[in-house]
């Protein structure tokens, strides 16, 4: 009875308020970190490998990013807006900066520089690996093994080391020698074969502007690392050698395309911004810009909006809202609407209705009719949306090196051990003294000598 009474007296709050208090971004740093005490060496470049290590850093792991001395890894130089005064590359190359594309895959990391090609640099890597839990690299298969710092050599020094290798095609098989990157992975993995408009509509395969295969692959690699750490600490006591293929990871995203081919010999093809299984469930073009007075050409173009009314009742309500009874009766049933020839009539009809409206106008009309919709937002609209701001999905970061930066927050919430964003990045070799002094036993004189030799 006492328990029942206690429960009955517990203040009741809404589920929304419970979530708001539990996951409040302002309380992240008052809570423990899930991976605190785990040390990760990130010998990575571009996005695939770095994002894997960075996801672990979000959860509290001590991630040490090792780059080439002075100029760092290539991703710093292959993305735009690398202003040296805002994002200096290193103290050795003051005239160069770091491109903004480097930010998304490298937050929360410590930065050390070592030349992997030199014996003394390789010896430093071995010393660091001896005191680490995880090693992540995404060079061509066998490169680190050839340099004497691959899994076979490092596991002999540290049997508990979890070694995560990420690459294009895997460490064995006919395609293993090929280099890979995001667009190649999506192309060979099968994604582009069904992304974009069909040819008869004037389309072709469409590339994702974001590095989707890289960031997805990094997350999959992080999952492998977490599973290996659990197995090591709970069962085996030993590390693990993990392989992740970027191309295979893309193939894992193909939904029912492979079973469809295997069963019926049908190749799933491109169908633009519409859906092959549901209708209406696609994106239409509106006739007016949301920013008619803007001088920015990216804002002056017409808007787009997703409309989802695939159920028979929803579709009937949509037709009533746009004022057409013929379409409603002709395609009253879902099986009739989903056919290609039906969609070629339905979607252009909806675009004709939206030709004198902005995407916001269309959204307001559909909201009042209780029809699911979502205007297609650009980066500006995402960044200024109060929902994302309140939840910390988009936030201003007071970075200790670079000042105020608009940055993505972690993509998920955890009540007891939340992920968090501490800093965006650092210049090349910013933590050489602390990392190499603490973990490799180098003296200030050693560090000065190796820096002069460009070994670190």
Tell me the pLDDT of the chain (456 aa) as tens digits.
Answer: 455 555 556 668 999 999 999 999 999 999 999 999 999 999 999 999 999 999 999 999 999 999 999 999 999 998 887 777 778 888 888 888 999 889 999 999 999 999 999 999 999 999 999 999 999 999 999 999 999 999 999 999 999 999 999 998 888 888 777 777 888 888 888 888 889 999 888 889 988 888 989 999 999 999 999 999 999 999 999 999 999 999 999 999 898 999 999 999 999 889 999 999 999 999 999 999 999 988 888 888 899 999 999 999 999 999 999 998 799 999 999 999 999 999 999 999 999 999 999 999 999 999 999 999 999 999 999 999 999 999 999 999 999 988 899 999 999 999 999 999 999 999 999 999 999 999 999 999 999 999 999 999
**Alpha carbons 324 and 1: distance in angstroms, whole number:** 62
**Alpha carbons 299 and 224: distance in angstroms, whole number:** 41
Q: Are residues 292 and 242 in the same domain?
A: no
Q: Are residues 287 and 195 in the same domain?
A: no
pTM of the model: 0.93
Residue 9 pLDDT: 62
- Structure tokens of 169? 């095609």
**Alpha carbons 94 and 82: distance in angstroms, whole number:** 12
Show the domain range for 312: 272-383
Whether 8 is in a domain gets the answer no
Q: Are residues 302 and 228 in the same domain?
A: no
Whether 10 is in a domain gets the answer no
Q: Are residues 376 and 443 in the same domain?
A: no
CA distances from 361 to 242, 306, 365 (A): 51, 13, 6
Closest CA to 358 of 412, 301, 315, 423: 301
CATH number of the structural domain spanning residue 277: 3.30.1540.10
- Structure tokens of 366? 């559909």
Q: Are residues 198 and 141 in the same domain?
A: yes
Q: Are residues 376 and 359 in the same domain?
A: yes
Q: What DSSP designation does 268 have?
A: P
CB 328 within 8 A of CB 315: yes
Q: Are residues 343 and 437 in the same domain?
A: no
Residue at which a domain ends, from 383, 416, 434 = 383
**Alpha carbons 320 and 335: distance in angstroms, whole number:** 20
Whether 4 is in a domain gets the answer no
Closest CA to 411 of 25, 22, 14: 25
Residue 173 pLDDT: 85
Looking at the 3D structure of the chain, how many domains does it have?
2
Whether 302 is in a domain gets the answer yes
Q: Are residues 288 and 319 in the same domain?
A: yes
Residue 321 pLDDT: 96
- Structure tokens of 439? 């973990």
Whether 227 is in a domain gets the answer yes
**H-helix or E-strand spanning residue 146:** helix 143-146
Q: Are residues 209 and 295 in the same domain?
A: no
**Alpha carbons 183 and 424: distance in angstroms, whole number:** 25
Whether 341 is in a domain gets the answer yes
Residue at which a domain ends, from 338, 362, 383 = 383
β-bridge mates for residue 110, sequence order: 64
**Alpha carbons 18 and 13: distance in angstroms, whole number:** 7
Q: Are residues 87 and 54 in the same domain?
A: yes
Residue 328 pLDDT: 94
Q: Are residues 237 and 353 in the same domain?
A: no
Whether 84 is in a domain gets the answer yes
Whether 1 is in a domain gets the answer no
Residue at which a domain ends, from 383, 412, 433 = 383
Q: Are residues 306 and 413 in the same domain?
A: no
CATH number of the structural domain spanning residue 33: 3.40.50.10540
**Alpha carbons 207 and 211: distance in angstroms, whole number:** 10
């Amino acid at each position: 009875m006492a328990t029942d009474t206690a429960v009955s007296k517990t203040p009741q709050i809404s589920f929304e308020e419970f979530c708001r208090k539990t996951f409040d971004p302002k309380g992240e740093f008052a809570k423990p970190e899930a991976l605190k005490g785990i040390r990760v060496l990130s010998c990575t470049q571009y996005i695939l490998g770095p994002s894997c290590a960075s996801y672990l850093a979000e959860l509290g792991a001590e991630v040490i990013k090792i780059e080439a001395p002075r100029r760092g890894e290539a991703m710093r130089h292959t993305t735009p807006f690398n202003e040296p005064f805002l994002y200096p590359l290193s103290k050795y190359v003051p005239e160069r900066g770091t491109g903004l594309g480097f930010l998304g895959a490298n937050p929360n990391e410590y930065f050390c520089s070592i030349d992997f090609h030199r014996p003394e640099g390789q010896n430093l890597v071995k010393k660091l690996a001896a005191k680490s839990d995880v090693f992540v690299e995404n060079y061509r298969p066998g490169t680190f093994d050839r340099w004497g710092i691959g899994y076979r050599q490092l596991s002999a020094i540290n049997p508990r080391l979890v070694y995560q290798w990420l690459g294009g095609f895997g460490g064995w098989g006919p395609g293993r020698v090929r280099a890979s990157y995001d667009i190649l992975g999506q192309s060979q993995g099968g994604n582009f074969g069904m992304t974009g408009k069909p040819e008869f509509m004037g389309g072709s395969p469409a590339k994702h502007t974001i590095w989707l295969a890289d960031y997805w692959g990094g997350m999959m690699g992080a999952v492998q690392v977490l599973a290996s750490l659990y197995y090591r600490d709970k069962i085996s006591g030993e590390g693990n050698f993990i392989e992740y293929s970027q191309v295979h990871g893309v193939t894992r995203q193909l939904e029912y395309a492979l079973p469809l081919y295997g069963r019926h010999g049908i190749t799933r093809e491109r169908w633009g911004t519409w859906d092959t299984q549901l209708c209406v469930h696609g994106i239409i073009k509106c006739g007016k810009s949301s920013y008619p007075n803007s001088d920015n050409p990216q804002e002056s173009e017409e808007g787009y909006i997703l409309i989802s009314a695939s159920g028979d009742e929803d579709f009937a309500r949509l037709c009533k809202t746009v004022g057409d009874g013929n379409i409603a009766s002709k395609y009253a049933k879902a099986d009739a609407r989903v056919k290609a020839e039906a969609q070629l009539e339905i979607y252009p009809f909806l675009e004709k209705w939206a030709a004198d409206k902005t995407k916001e106008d269309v959204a307001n009309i559909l909201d009042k009719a209780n029809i699911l919709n979502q205007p297609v937002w650009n980066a500006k609209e995402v960044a200024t949306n109060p929902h994302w701001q309140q939840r910390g999905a988009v936030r201003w970061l007071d970075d200790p090196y670079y000042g105020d930066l608009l940055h993505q927050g972690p993509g998920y919430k955890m009540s007891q051990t939340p992920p968090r964003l501490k800093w965006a990045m650092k210049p090349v070799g910013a933590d050489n003294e602390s990392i190499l002094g603490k973990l490799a036993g180098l003296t200030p004189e050693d560090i000065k000598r190796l820096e002069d030799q460009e070994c670190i």
